Amino acid sequence: MTKPEPIIRLEDVHKYYGDYHALRGITAEIGQGEFFSLLGPSGCGKTTLLRAIAGFEDISSGAIMLGGKNMEGVAPNHRPTNMVFQSYAIFPHLNVEQNVAFGLRKSGLSAGDKTRAVGQALEMVGLGGYGGRAAHALSGGQRQRVALARALILKPKVLLLDEPLSALDKKMREVMQVELIKLQREVGITFILVTHDQEEALVMSDRIAVMFEGEIAQLDDPERLYRRPVSRRVGEFIGMMNFLDGTLQASGGLSVDVAGLGRADIDEGQIAGAARAGAVSVGLRPETLSILFEDDPKSARSAEGEVAEVVYYGDMTYYDLRLDGAARNVRVSMRNVVGRPVLEVGARARVSWDPRALTVFS
Amino acid sequence: MKGQGLKAYVILYLVFLYAPILLLPMFAFNSGTVIAFPLQSFTTSWFVEIFTTKALIEATRNSVFIAVSVAILSTCFGLFAARAATRYNFPAKGGIVGFVMLPLVLPEIIVAVSLLVVLIQAGLSTGIWSVIAGHVLICTPFSIAILQGSFANMDKSLEEAAIDLGETPLSTFRLITLPLVAPGIIASLLICFTISLDEFIIAFFLSGNEPTLPVYIWGLLRFPARVPVIMALGTLLVALSIILLITAEYFRRRGLRRAGKRDVGGFL
| pLDDT tier, B69 (very low <50, low <70, confident <90, very high otherwise) | very high
* Contact between chains at A89 and B160 (C-beta distance less than 8 A): yes
Q: What is the ipTM of this complex?
A: 0.83
pLDDT of residue A231: 92
Q: What is the mean pLDDT of residues B35-44?
A: 78
- Structural contact between residues A32 and A2, judged by C-beta atoms closer than 8 angstroms: no
* Contact between chains at B162 and A91 (C-beta distance less than 8 A): yes
Residue B56: CB partners within 8 Å, gap ≥ 6?
Answer: B50, B213, B216, B229, B233
Question: Which residue does chain B place closest to A54, by CA atoms?
Answer: B164
Dmax (CA) of chain A: 76
- Structural contact between residues A351 and A290, judged by C-beta atoms closer than 8 angstroms: yes
pLDDT digit string (tens) for B166-180? Answer: 999 999 999 999 988
The mean pLDDT of chain B is 86
Q: Among candidates A164, A103, A193, A92, which has minimal Cα distance to B155?
A: A92
Residue B1: CB partners within 8 Å, gap ≥ 6?
Answer: none
* Contact between chains at B260 and A56 (C-beta distance less than 8 A): no
Give chain B's domains with CATH numbers.
56-258 (1.10.3720.10)
Alpha-carbon distance of A152 to A165, in angstroms, equals 17
User: How big is the CA angle at A246 (ends A240 and A247), to the nearest 5 degrees?
Assistant: 145
Judge whether residue B77 has pLDDT over 90.
yes
**B180 chain-A contacts, CB cut-off 8 A:** 92-93
Dmax (CA) of chain B: 72
Q: How far is B183 from chain A (nearest CA, A)?
A: 12
| Neighbour tally for A134: CB within 10 Å | 13
Q: What are phi and psi of A214, to 5 degrees?
A: 80, 10
Q: Among candidates A4, A12, A58, A59, which has minimal Cα distance to A36?
A: A4
User: How big is the CA angle at A299 (ends A295 and A305), to the nearest 5 degrees?
Assistant: 85
Q: How many residues does chain B have?
A: 268
Q: What are phi and psi of A335, to 5 degrees?
A: -70, 135
Give chain A's domains with CATH numbers.
6-232 (3.40.50.300), 240-361 (2.40.50.140)
**B157 chain-A contacts, CB cut-off 8 A:** 85-87, 89
Judge whether residue A361 has pLDDT over 60.
yes
* Contact between chains at A103 and B165 (C-beta distance less than 8 A): yes
pLDDT of residue B263: 59
Residue A211: CB partners within 8 Å, gap ≥ 6?
Answer: A38, A39, A40, A44, A45, A46, A49, A217
Q: Among candidates B6, B53, B162, B240, which has minimal Cα distance to A93?
A: B162
Q: How many helices (H) and strands (E) does chain B have?
A: 12, 0
| pLDDT tier, B104 (very low <50, low <70, confident <90, very high otherwise) | confident
Judge whether residue B265 has pLDDT over 70.
no
pLDDT of residue B65: 95
Best of B87, B90, B160, B164 to mutate (most A CBs within 10 Å, chain A): B164
Q: Which residues pair with A264 in a beta bridge?
A: A256
pLDDT of residue B86: 87
Residue A73: CB partners within 8 Å, gap ≥ 6?
Answer: none
Alpha-carbon distance of A181 to A148, in angstroms, equals 13
Alpha-carbon distance of B6 to A174, in angstroms, equals 55
Q: Which DSSP string do the residues of A120-172 spell out, in sequence order?
A: HHHHHTT-TT-TT-BGGG--HHHHHHHHHHHHHTT--SEEEEESTTTTS-HHH
* Contact between chains at A91 and B258 (C-beta distance less than 8 A): no
pLDDT digit string (tens) for A20-55? Answer: 999 999 999 999 999 999 999 998 999 999 999 999
**Residue, of B55 and B259, whose pLDDT is higher:** B55
CB-defined contacts A:B, below 8 A: 60
| CA A2 to chain CA mean position, Å | 22
Nearest to B160 among A56, A92, A150 (CB): A56
- Structural contact between residues A34 and A4, judged by C-beta atoms closer than 8 angstroms: yes
- Structural contact between residues A53 and A194, judged by C-beta atoms closer than 8 angstroms: no
Worst-scoring range by mean pLDDT, A41-45, A327-331, A342-346, B226-230? B226-230
| pLDDT tier, A204 (very low <50, low <70, confident <90, very high otherwise) | very high
Q: Which H or E element spans position B68?
A: helix B54-87
Q: What is the mean pLDDT of residues A167-194?
A: 89
Give me the percent of chain B exceeding a pLDDT of 70: 95
Nearest to A83 among B164, B180, B258 (CB): B164
pLDDT of residue B268: 43
Judge whether residue B75 has pLDDT over 70.
yes
Alpha carbons within 13 A on the beta-carbon side of A145: 25
Q: What is the mean pLDDT of residues B132-145?
A: 93
pLDDT of residue B66: 95
Residue B23: CB partners within 8 Å, gap ≥ 6?
Answer: B231
- Structural contact between residues B214 and B200, judged by C-beta atoms closer than 8 angstroms: yes
Q: What is the mean pLDDT of residues A317-339?
A: 89
Is any Cβ of chain B less than 8 angstroms from the Cβ of A177?
no
Q: Among candidates B248, B138, B237, B236, which has minimal Cα distance to B191?
A: B248
pLDDT of residue B92: 86
The mean pLDDT of chain A is 90
Q: What is the mean pLDDT of residues B42-57?
A: 84
**Residue, of A107 and A149, whose pLDDT is higher:** A149
Q: What is the mean pLDDT of residues B200-227?
A: 87
Q: What is the mean pLDDT of residues B15-43?
A: 82
pLDDT of residue A1: 47
pLDDT digit string (tens) for A243-284? Answer: 999 999 888 788 898 888 888 888 888 888 777 788 899 999
| Neighbour tally for A169: CB within 10 Å | 10
Judge whether residue A3 has pLDDT over 60.
no
Q: What is the mean pLDDT of residues B45-67?
A: 88
Alpha-carbon distance of A71 to A83, in angstroms, equals 16
